[in-house]
Structure 1
Amino acid sequence: MSIQSILLVDDEPAFQRLCGNWLAGLGYTVKLAATAEQVHALLACNSFDLVLLDLALPPTFTPDEGLNLLPLLAPVPVVVMTGHADRELALRAISLGAWDFLPKPLDPDILRVVVERAMTKRRLERELAEWRGKALPDDNTMGLIGISKELAELRSLVRRIAPTDVPVMVTGPSGTGKELVARALHAHGKRAAKSFIAVHCGAIPAELFESELFGHRKGSFTGADRDRIGLIAAADGGTLFLDEMGEMPLVMQVKLLRFLQSGSFFAVGAREEQHVDVRIVAATNRDLASMVEEKSFRDDLYYRLKGIQMRTSALADRAEDIALIAQAICARYSPPKRLTATALEWLSSRQWPGNVRELQHCLQTAAALAGDQPEIAVDDLALACGEVSPPAQDEVAGLLEEQVASLERRLIVTALEDSKHNHTHAARQLGISRVGLLNKMRRHGLR
């Protein structure tokens, strides 16, 4: 791992020397700048992981000198340092791109924590860029997104099998993309120009199964007011995907087996036989071999269907794929959403027992919670997954006011301690009048 670098921007030589040596002692490389011109020169030939920026720089020694540099420094995390520790200045700095705000004199322990957090943020951003760089184009991933060994082997197998007509059985936990595998086999085979028809066996009532699969003729049963083509005929020339194959009723298993053996079938109420040419891809999350032993699934149909067996893996077994899958899902939203680096790390750390289906549902809810924001944050994801309760609107306002008041009180206490409770000196350090300091002390109950 490379040594992380910091740009320290401050016009006080003593502070530069002390703070620079202290940061170097923590293992960082440190470059020093005292003016905006020096910052420009260093940025032209160096890259930094963090910028510590004093706002009061020459020639005016006002906060505007440092604030004007903030847009230039993006997207590197910037921690603003200043003796002008008022709320308006802090909010202005944050709005211009600053990542954090620290009052002078700096507390070494607080500075260490802030620097470590900023470096973690920078590392996550770089890992995110690497993840994005490893994402293969759609024509290479075939919709099967991931960099794990399991996904690479699955894509390789799809490429080998897709041009053939051999039947395929796709197994794996629910929500792991078995239909995506079937669609990839269809899209990269010789039948791609024809139809891909998916039959979800668990969603069709048993009494309607034959009609849905084979079609029916007008008058063949009550309610059959017209001829209807079945799903098998609709897939002629293309691919028929039988999802959740283990849910198919036994009586339908017999009729499906006959069709697989002959390529022909009778629609309900028809006298003439129909012939179609389809490729069969079946999928299940159940153990069909055990069902065969239990006599709940026909052995002859099982051996006819299984052909080449392919298996999809649970997300918990390929955590390195989660970030790429999440990004691909969010890119399809209108408008597209991005995920922050910390949000991607949070997603990758979870087990996702519902696999991609659960991940997709969480992201969809989080995107709605993010509203008009272009990015989905960790808080949106946690709320979408039910890990936190949303605060009431008045509580949100109260929390902000409490945080601002707590920060203001802490800054005043620090200034008073540094000035040995000399109100004039403390007020000067805080950048406010003595009367203003006394009013704030009274408001916060400070004597």
Structure 2
Amino acid sequence: MNDEIDATPGPHILVVDDEPHLCELLAYRLEHHGYRVSTELSARGALEAIEQTSIDAMILDLRLDDADGLEVLSEVLKRSPDVPVVILTAHGTIETAVEAIQRGAYGFLTKPFQDYELLQKLAHAVESGRLKREVAGLRRIMGDASNDSRLLGTSEAIAAVRERIARVAPADATVLLLGESGTGKELAARSIHALSPRKAKPFIAVNCGALPAELLESELFGHVKGAFTGASRDKEGLFAAARGGTLLLDEIGEAPHAVQVKLLRVLQEKRFTKVGSSAEEEVDVRIVAATNRELRAEVSAGRFREDLFYRLHVVPILMPPLRERKDDIPLLAELFLRRAAARYNLAEPHLSPEALSVLLAHSWPGNVRELANVMEGVILLCQDKRIRPQEIKAILSPPARPPGSGPVSERTAQAEPPPAEPEPPSARWASGVGEPDAPLPPLRAARDSFERAYLVEALRRAGGNVSAAAKLAGRNRTDFHDLLRKHGLSGSDFKA
């Protein structure tokens, strides 16, 4: 090789061109901007180089003395598929550019070129290659990244969680998953199940805070006919449905006292009784519990049984918030973009370095769940294959009020969607801020007012993009358009 690879930090670029003067010029320019550069004058030397050392990106001339550049490109990608290749040529045509891209080239530059063009293209290529290598590394560690039971990430924090899961999964011990909402507690529970001897049996999750006490007890343990009004037949509960498998008790801190008592008996004696029955039944279920509450504080306040806490707290696993594992953000963002692109049958865009900086600077109060939702919204707003900072910010910080509505703080802008007309009493009542003595509107009027206010807010958050607003609302685009027509709304009224 013509240049020795030094130990200075910076991405390693391989320049392949049969003109020595151009190689020297490119090496000088790139080294000035912090890159490490090696040069080769032939296709044979280039292929030997990628076998001998790690390359972050390649600049490849399309016309070499000993080979056709497109053939070299194919061979490079066959040997090192994660290396982004920027094609450089003085004979650029649209057809050649298209063929190079079709064969896998990252980009295409025509001589003569400006320094800023080369540097910008190279910076994006290096970042793209880094993300590809991270994805490949994660797949080697975790297997198929499309599997929803996988905890994604390469940071030390999430690696420690995976290691603990791998240790406890084969045993049948009760696991308590702790952490903020959106940190992946259910994914951790699924990973525990997938790595356990119970993996061939059912995995069932129930949110203990989503159901009233009587209904939750019946859902968990089942009931007999006549146990309560409406119990017209016997019903098996989730403990019976999960027999032999794993039951995730999500938001266990919100379980009512009566349910806590029965759960304690299940953990202590592996037995339960259906609602309205006196006959005990044996249970063969592994319990994994999850909560975003501080259970010790709940015990001190008398809201959670101390004995149940210690029964659940056999193996605690703390899920780290995303702000403490920011090294994972580029990889997670890339994976979520791929999933969203596949879901909506869209071309897969890539994050610009500036957009990635916006993601890294955000505090992510909603954690991984928030990042996934942001990436899904961004892909609907993206105008081309490159995601820019403003498209990230459009989701993280919804557009301000329409002109003429006066200044407003970010918090107020997020909390108060601007009504297109004075809010009727029914809307104030539906939103819970009506006067106690105000006339009660008809149910239909209250429902319509709430529906219209909801549509206005969805459009405002999506910046007038109807597809993005429909996704935020959980409706398909056709139904959403019908709702907009019903209320006389248009997405164009909300575009900045």
1:352 and 2:364 are equivalent in the alignment: yes
Q: Unmatched 5+ residue regions in structure 1?
A: 34-38, 59-67, 83-88, 394-447
C-alpha displacement of 1:322: 2.9
Q: What is the match of residue 248 of structure 1?
A: 255
Q: Residue 350 of structure 2 is aligned with which of 340, 360, 365?
A: 340
3-state SS of the aligned residue for 1:4?
A: strand
In the alignment, is the contact (CA less than 8 A) between 1:337 and 1:376 conserved in 2?
Answer: no
Which residue identity is paired with 2:288?
Answer: V
1:125 and 2:128 are equivalent in the alignment: yes
1:76 and 2:109 are equivalent in the alignment: no
3-state SS of the aligned residue for 2:317?
A: strand
Q: Unmatched 5+ residue regions in structure 2?
A: 1-8, 75-83, 400-461, 466-496
1:263 and 2:270 are equivalent in the alignment: yes
In the alignment, is the contact (CA less than 8 A) between 1:80 and 1:93 conserved in 2?
Answer: no
Q: What is the match of residue 385 of structure 1?
A: 395
**Cα 1:46/1:380, change in 2 over 3 Å:** farther
User: What aligned pairs does 1:269-280 form with structure 2 within 5 A after superposition?
Assistant: 269-280=276-287
In the alignment, is the contact (CA less than 8 A) between 1:366 and 1:380 conserved in 2?
Answer: no
Which residue identity is paired with 2:152?
Answer: I
**Cα 1:21/1:264, change in 2 over 3 Å:** closer
Q: What is the match of residue 203 of structure 2?
A: 196
In the alignment, is the contact (CA less than 8 A) between 1:162 and 1:189 conserved in 2?
Answer: yes
Q: What is the match of residue 318 of structure 1?
A: 325
**Cα 1:72/1:225, change in 2 over 3 Å:** same
In the alignment, is the contact (CA less than 8 A) between 2:299 and 2:306 conserved in 1?
Answer: yes
C-alpha displacement of 1:251: 3.0
Partners of 2:185 and 2:98 in 1: CA distance:
46
Partners of 1:25 and 1:229 in 2: CA distance:
70
In the superposition, the TM-score normalised over structure 2's length comes to 0.60
In the alignment, is the contact (CA less than 8 A) between 1:330 and 1:336 conserved in 2?
Answer: no
Partners of 1:171 and 1:179 in 2: CA distance:
11
1:23 and 2:29 are equivalent in the alignment: yes
Q: Deviations over 1:140-197 (max 9, x none)?
A: 9961222222222222222222222222111011111111222222222232232222
In the alignment, is the contact (CA less than 8 A) between 2:60 and 2:69 conserved in 1?
Answer: no
Identity %: 34
1:364 and 2:376 are equivalent in the alignment: yes
3-state SS of the aligned residue for 1:203?
A: coil
In the alignment, is the contact (CA less than 8 A) between 2:173 and 2:315 conserved in 1?
Answer: yes
In the superposition, the TM-score normalised over structure 1's length comes to 0.66
Partners of 1:306 and 1:25 in 2: CA distance:
55
1:287 and 2:307 are equivalent in the alignment: no
Q: What is the match of residue 36 of structure 1?
A: none
C-alpha displacement of 1:336: 9.2
Which residue identity is paired with 1:365?
Answer: G
In the alignment, is the contact (CA less than 8 A) between 1:7 and 1:52 conserved in 2?
Answer: yes
Partners of 2:286 and 2:37 in 1: CA distance:
62
Partners of 1:318 and 1:383 in 2: CA distance:
21
Q: Residue 119 of structure 2 is aligned with which of 116, 120, 123?
A: 116
C-alpha displacement of 1:310: 1.0
Which residue identity is paired with 2:135?
Answer: R
Partners of 1:137 and 1:296 in 2: CA distance:
41
In the alignment, is the contact (CA less than 8 A) between 1:6 and 1:28 conserved in 2?
Answer: no
Q: Residue 184 of structure 1 is aligned with which of 179, 188, 191?
A: 191
Partners of 1:91 and 1:140 in 2: CA distance:
37
C-alpha displacement of 1:44: 5.4
Q: Deviations over 1:291-326 (max 9, x none)?
A: 111112121221221111111101111122234434
Partners of 1:123 and 1:24 in 2: CA distance:
13
> Which region of structure 1 is more displaced relative to structure 2, 345-354 or 256-265?
345-354
In the alignment, is the contact (CA less than 8 A) between 2:260 and 2:305 conserved in 1?
Answer: yes
**Cα 1:166/1:140, change in 2 over 3 Å:** farther
Q: What is the match of residue 437 of structure 1?
A: none
3-state SS of the aligned residue for 2:85?
A: coil
Q: Deviations over 1:84-140 (max 9, x none)?
A: xxxxx8977865659476786x7xxx52x3333233223213322331332135459
3-state SS of the aligned residue for 2:264?
A: helix
1:232 and 2:239 are equivalent in the alignment: yes
In the alignment, is the contact (CA less than 8 A) between 1:366 and 1:383 conserved in 2?
Answer: no
Which residue identity is paired with 1:357?
Answer: R
Q: Deviations over 1:263-291 (max 9, x none)?
A: 32222222322221222211111101011
Which residue identity is paired with 1:309?
Answer: P
Partners of 2:207 and 2:36 in 1: CA distance:
58
User: What aligned pairs does 1:78-157 form with structure 2 within 5 A after superposition?
Assistant: 78=87, 97=101, 99=107, 111=115, 113-135=116-138, 136-138=140-142, 143-157=150-164
Query: What is the alpha-carbon root mean square deviation over aligned residues?
Result: 4.3
User: What aligned pairs does 1:359-438 form with structure 2 within 5 A after superposition?
Assistant: 359-369=371-381, 377-378=387-388, 382=392, 385-386=395-396
Partners of 1:154 and 1:90 in 2: CA distance:
51
Partners of 1:285 and 1:274 in 2: CA distance:
31
Q: Deviations over 1:224-250 (max 9, x none)?
A: 222211112222222221111111122
C-alpha displacement of 1:255: 3.0
Partners of 2:18 and 2:382 in 1: CA distance:
35
C-alpha displacement of 1:201: 0.8
RCO higher in structure (CA 8 A, sep ≥6)? 1
Partners of 2:219 and 2:391 in 1: CA distance:
40
**Cα 1:196/1:380, change in 2 over 3 Å:** farther
Q: What is the match of residue 437 of structure 2?
A: none
**Cα 1:215/1:80, change in 2 over 3 Å:** same
Q: Residue 166 of structure 1 is aligned with which of 163, 170, 173?
A: 173
C-alpha displacement of 1:331: 5.4
Which residue identity is paired with 1:385?
Answer: I
Partners of 1:140 and 1:153 in 2: CA distance:
20
Which residue identity is paired with 2:232?
Answer: D
3-state SS of the aligned residue for 2:171?
A: coil
In the alignment, is the contact (CA less than 8 A) between 2:131 and 2:331 conserved in 1?
Answer: no
Partners of 2:280 and 2:330 in 1: CA distance:
50
3-state SS of the aligned residue for 2:209?
A: helix
